[in-house]
Structure 1
Amino acid sequence: MRSLLPYLRAHRGPLAAAAALSLVTAATGLAQPLLVRQVIDGVQVGAAVTGTVVLVVVVLIAGSVIGAFQEFLLQRTAEGIVLHTRRRLVDRLLRLPVADLDARRTGDLISRVGSDTTLLRAVVTSGLVEVASSALLAVGAVIAMALVDLTLLGVTLLAVGVGVTAGVLVGRRLRALARLSQERVGAMTAAVERALGAVRTIRASGATDREVAAVGVAAEQAYDAGVRAARVRAAISPLVGVAVQGAFVAVLGVGGYRVASGALTVADLVAFILYLFLLVLPLGQLLGAYAQLQQGLGALSRVEEVLDLPEEDPGPPTVPTSPRPPSGAPLLAVERLTFVHRGGDSPVLQDVSFTAARGTRTALVGPSGAGKSTLLGLLERFDDPAAGRIRLDGVDLRDLPRAALRARLGYVEQEAPVLAGTLRENLLLAAPDATPAQVDAVLVATGLTAVATRSPLGLDAQVGEGGVLLSGGERQRLAICRSLLARPELLLLDEPTASLDARNEAALAQALRAVQQHGDGTALVVVAHRLSTVVDADQIVVLDGGRVVGVGTHTELLDRTPLYRELAATQLLVADEGVAPPRPDAPPVAIPTPGPTDEEKMS
């Protein structure tokens, strides 16, 4: 409940107004039995009751109108709380450390933003305020019943108290069951998200039935948890119903006897029964609201679990003032870098060192698992090294605000993610203020002009979920365009030519060479598996098992680094394997197209 208070504090004005309106509604409800008693007493003695009857109607209508406005105010406030919570949750999710996001299932996080926050609406509408207003009305009814007849009040409280106590004891189990239900829904959402994200692979692998079954198992588990929670909720209503029916039977029996004995008037008995209605209805609402509150608090605990996670450290608040490095000093310096994944035992990178000057291209090569992509992640400060340091223009990356650091870097991931939306939205993601001329320039440089003009919508054409309407090479080039528009000082590319054909690969290589000459010269750090794309790099850093085993040019490494020579021989890039290394400016090799067969000629 303490965790709930910050959510309510921002909306305390509307909630206070709703609470005040609930007081007025309770007052009109409590006044009605008194007015009805006056009407009955007046009829019995032959007095005029027209004014009292009109007053009863006015109070009834006023109470209904005020109650409707209070309900609208609560609903609107609840929607505001859900909106505020979703904004906070999305803001925290997008600022979590990358390692924390990697450790969680995306579908479960989406479920917390969607269904869990929706349950907070019930905390406000059917929960907190209704608990307070129902409790207030119930207390007022009990006081009024005590003024009418203490004997009947004792009978009522005995019957109702048993049912309410049992309902509360049962309802206490609901919060844990509600949390379990939401966790199962989150797991099911994650399973659906996983399947839809790889639907082509699943169908091509003939695994559709197995994935349907797997999602079905998750759905059944969510169903089972929901049924268990529903069973507890359903048990509350009959407990209250038995107590209410028992209270009415007892009041009618005892009250009838007291009327017959002259201890109670008919008007008093009618007024007491009306107050019993005013007690029973809010008690039913109270237990229902209690159940809704338990469900909402169960969902709130899942929301709070994410909000309690620490955000990625933004770094120092300001950029440190430092003298400009001397001419010829490297832009990037990696010094004795060691990194271990969270929970890991052995280092992924160990004692890695190299430098990169402005206007140069550094290639990172080596077998899979050597730590190349991990190194790029450290340059972006998605994580920090266990030992050693990385300097940019002589300043340790940890001394720079993360936002300021990333504004100076460009980063193209290996998967080249494309966001659902338009071409324009993807291009301007890192450079929202880029001019049309700058956009046209990078489109030409990366060979994407044809993609941008093949639709009548131009750059406003949709790319589909994850860029599904683009080819793999087009997604790769779009990601590179996005980084080039930001005009970075240091451009990091993780296997940028993996999805490109020979012609586009050559065009991209030419564009990257032009990028190197921009301004003071952009430095490129490129992860590559195809050595043919980096043979003309200014330097090549060879990684193996997280260690640097060689640094130099293509020719130098062939002479002195056995691992590089082995990689080059495997890819037919060494002369002694019968194939000369390709020239950087060589045109792509033309692959002859086979002619038609004799049968095709005849047909």
Structure 2
Amino acid sequence: MTTGETARPTAAGEEPPTAGLRELLPLLRPHRRALAAAAVLSLVSAAAALAQPALVARVIRAVGSGEAVLPGVLALVVVLVLASVLGAGQQFLLQRTAEGVVLSTRRLLTDRLLRLPVAEYDRRRTGDLMSRVGSDTTLLRATVTSGVVELAGSVVVGVGALIAMAVVDVWLLLVTVLAVSVGVTVAVLASRRVRELSRQAQEQVGEMSSAVERALSAVRTIRASGATEREVAAVGTSAERAYGAGVQVARLQALVSPAAGIAVQGAFLAVLGLGGYRVATGSIAVADLVAFILYLFLLIRPLGEVISSYTQLQTGLGALARVQEVLALDPEHDDVPERPGRSPVVLRVPSAADPVPLLELDGVGFGYPDGTPVLSGVSFAVPAGSRVALVGPSGAGKSTVLALVEGFYPLSAGAVRWAGTDTRELPRAALRARMGYVEQEAPVLAGTVRQNLQLATPDATDEQLWAALADVGLTGVVERSPLGLDVPVGDDGVLLSGGERQRLAIARSLLSRPALLLLDEPTASLDARNEGLLRDTLAAAAADRALLVVAHRLSTVLDSDRIVVLDAGRVVASGTHHELVDTSPLYRELATAQLLV
């Protein structure tokens, strides 16, 4: 589809699927060994932490009873060092695993993005898709490091501390639980909203990325139109929305810390007051109170970590929902549906003498999901070795025909046949390998001339590359640089002229020696001299392949074997140039306007 043809309306944004731990687990599964090792280290580290208050109490009792203190002190030192070493090992494993999860998710997401049906790219903004690969996957890192294993380790420490506190003194434990429960309840209620707000914030980041991508891709047009300030303001507005969404998340997260802090301080003061009273009455010993307070500190740290980890987990799951939205989309499938008793389909190329045409459109219809019709009942054939042209006014559906031949969109009616076989029964990749397609905009990839030429034929030799450039009169562009074939073309081919980009795209298609060459406005950006050169090239190319050419410049296709005239998505005439001048009012009008009659 091109800007010169009927544009597809953008579909309304759909609510993305929610993501939970069930969606996160498949991403973690390839790293289960590292996560298991980190979990083991976390549990051993938790056990070491829980042993410390008991060892401190033992040292205090030893001091009070006059027993040897050194064994208890040494045991305490060993436990402290062990806990530190294990904690460092656990952090390394978690960080490395988190990076691995981000890497595998980005690979998976990129693979899906590059395999989506073309219609999906019409519905979605490039910048938003890019943000899902970048910022959304980055948020998964914290989900792994703070939201999974550490959460489990913190729970173990917290539960162990509660059990130890119950053993020391049940009444002090009850006071602690009452004080802490208030803060935990507030924190959990606040964190539950973080996932949705985080997803909304990431959507705003995606909108901002789309605005930046839009501005940068048309920066010359914007500069020439004096629209720089307006575009800066537009991007700034998107950035402000992203800022506002981020502030909402920050505001909600900020409620968690004070609630937890007040609960902790209240528990500490209550334990000191009630514990001092119980020591004074002889209900518990000083060593037990010290141990209880140490266990309380042990409970406070994992409690804060649990709340923080839960918040991080919700943030990561909000981003994961946006990743899952793309992963849930069906990719473009290349498999041919199997049917019992059917022989394997062979993709053949008929000869020029074969009565079966190389390509045939039979009653083809196409419309957008919203009901907008584009093509209706389009039928024509392209015999092997022939040149067929599609002409007509803008919006007639010419470029749409090429997109349907390539299989970019599903047909609404009719069939497209290759050598007599419905293309829906053929492997799409193998079919496209037999066709060369040059779009109207002639996209050139950032990189070098060599890299662009070898896109479809990575094994092409330098001699073949030079020959392809000579066929389209582009050797001068390469020869004027000492880098030769490795001369850079710039982002989107910006270092080449429009005509040079067009010819480079055609050379790339000719290099793969397709049986059918699809050209959408091949001379749109060429001057008269290079148009004549390209006509000679196409005439030579047609000697051993078929051509289907979309053209506004009728001079390019005057000598075509057949010219098909489209208007409002229908075939209104077909024939040679001289036949159409006599029989088709629309064609005669187009030819007269271009001084060809």
TM range (shorter): over 0.9
Question: 8 Å contact 1:315–1:398 — kept in the other structure?
Answer: no
Q: Secondary structure at the match of 1:313?
A: coil
Partner of 2:527: 501
Residue 317 of structure 1: how far off its partner (Å): 6.5
Runs of 4+ in 1 over 3 A off after TM superposition: 321-326
In structure 1, the residue matched to 2:473 is: 447
What corresponds to 1:97 in structure 2?
Answer: 117
RMSD (CA atoms): 1.3
Residue 456 of structure 1, CA deviation: 1.8
Cα deviation, residue 151, structure 1: 1.1
Distance 2:222 2:279 in 1: 78
Distance 1:19 1:422 in 2: 48
Aligned to 1:534: 557
1:483-509 deviation per Cα after TM superposition (whole angstroms, max 9, x unaligned):
111110000000011111111111111
Secondary structure of the residue aligned to 1:463 is coil
Cα deviation per residue 1:238-291 (whole Å; 9 max; x = unaligned)? 000001111111111111111111111111111111111110000001101111
| Residue 49 (str. 1) matches residue 49 (str. 2) | no
- 1:416 and 1:17 mapped to 2: Cα distance? 52
Is it true that 1:459 corresponds to 2:485 in the alignment? yes
The answer as to 2:361 corresponding to 1:341 is no
Q: Which amino acid aligns with 1:416?
A: A
Q: Is 1:198 aligned to residue 218 of structure 2?
A: yes
1:134 to 154, 164, 177: 154
Is residue 160 from structure 1 mapped to residue 187 from structure 2 by the alignment?
Answer: no
Name the SS for the 2:580 alignment partner: helix
Instruction: Could you tell me which runs of 5 or more consecutive residues in structure 2 were left unpaired when the two chains were aligned.
Output: 1-20, 339-343
Structure 1: gaps of 5 or more residues:
575-603
One-letter code of the match for 1:471? S
Aligned letter for 1:239? A
Residue matched to 2:417 = 391
Q: What percent of counterpart residues are identical?
A: 65
- In 2, the alpha carbon distance for the partners of 1:427 and 1:321 equals 28
Match of 1:75 among 95, 100, 115: 95
TM-superposed deviation, 1:331: 1.0
Q: Which has the higher contact order (CA 8 A, sep 6+)?
A: 2
1:279 and 2:299 matched? yes
Find the counterpart in structure 2 of residue 597 from structure 1: none
SS at match of 1:282: helix
CA displacement at 1:323 relative to structure 2: 8.6
Letter of the 2:106 partner, please give it.
Answer: R
SS at structure 2 position matched to 1:353: strand
Q: What is the CA–CA distance in structure 2 between the aligned matches of 1:259 and 1:165, rounded to whole Å? A: 31
Mapped to 1, the partners of 2:222 and 2:574 lie a distance apart of 42
- 8 Å CA contact 1:119, 1:299 repeated in 2: yes
1:320 maps to: 345
Are 2:584 and 1:564 aligned? Answer: no
Partner of 2:513: 487
- Give the Å deviation of 1:393: 1.1
* Aligned residue number for residue 475 of structure 1: 501
1: CA distance between counterparts of 2:326 and 2:349?
Answer: 42
Letter in 1 for 2:496: L
Aligned to 2:356: 329
> Aligned runs of 1:569-588 on 2, under 5 Å?
569-574=592-597
CA distance in 1, matches of 2:63, 2:488: 76
The TM-score normalised by the length of structure 2 is: 0.94
Structure 2 CA distance for aligned equivalents of residues 52 and 462 of structure 1: 71
Deviation at 1:327, TM superposition (A): 2.4
Instruction: List aligned pairs for 1:164-563, cutoff 5 A.
Output: 164-316=184-336, 320-321=345-346, 327-345=354-372, 347-517=373-543, 521-563=544-586
Deviates more, 1:124-133 or 1:229-238: 124-133
Q: Would the aligned equivalents of 2:349 and 2:358 in 1 still touch at CA under 8 Å?
A: no
Partners in 2 of 1:244 and 1:228 — Cα distance? 25
Q: Distance in 2 between matches of 1:44 and 1:303?
A: 61
For 2:514 and 2:497, locate their aligned partners in 1 and report how far apart those are by CA, in whole Å. 26
1:56-105 C-alpha deviation (Å, 9 max, x unpaired): 11110111111011011011111111111111111111111111111001
SS in 1 for 2:23: coil
Aligned AA (1:264):
I
The offset of 1:375, in angstroms, is 0.2
* 1:315 and 1:399 in contact (8 A); partners too: no
Q: Structure 1 stretch 448-457 or stretch 114-123: which is displaced more? A: 448-457
TM-score computed with the length of structure 1 as normaliser: 0.93
Q: Distance in 1 between matches of 2:347 and 2:197?
A: 57
Question: Does the Cα contact within 8 Å between 1:317 and 1:401 map onto a contact in 2?
Answer: no
Write the distance in 1 (CA, Å) between the matches of 2:26 and 2:417: 42
Q: Please say if residues 348 and 419 of structure 2, whose CA atoms lie closer than 8 Å, have aligned partners that are also in contact.
A: no
The answer to whether the 8 A contact 2:347-2:426 is kept is no
> Within 2, Cα distance between the matches of 1:268 and 1:8?
42
Cα gap change, 1:322 to 1:99, in 2 (>3 Å): closer
**Separation in 2 of the partners of 1:147 and 1:455?**
82
Query: Between Structure 1 and Structure 2, how many residues are aligned?
Result: 570
Q: d(CA) in 2 for partners of 1:135 and 1:217?
A: 43
Q: In 2, distance between residues paired with 1:317 and 1:256?
A: 79
Structure 2: how far apart are the matches of 1:391 and 1:313? Answer: 18
Q: 1:323 to 1:428 in 2, by over 3 A?
A: closer
Distance in 1 between the 2:190 and 2:382 partners?
Answer: 67
Structure 1: distance between partners of 2:580 and 2:322: 54
C-alpha separation in 2, matches of 1:163 and 1:302: 31
Contact 2:347 2:431 in 1 (8 A): no
Q: Distance in 2 between matches of 1:483 and 1:265?
A: 88
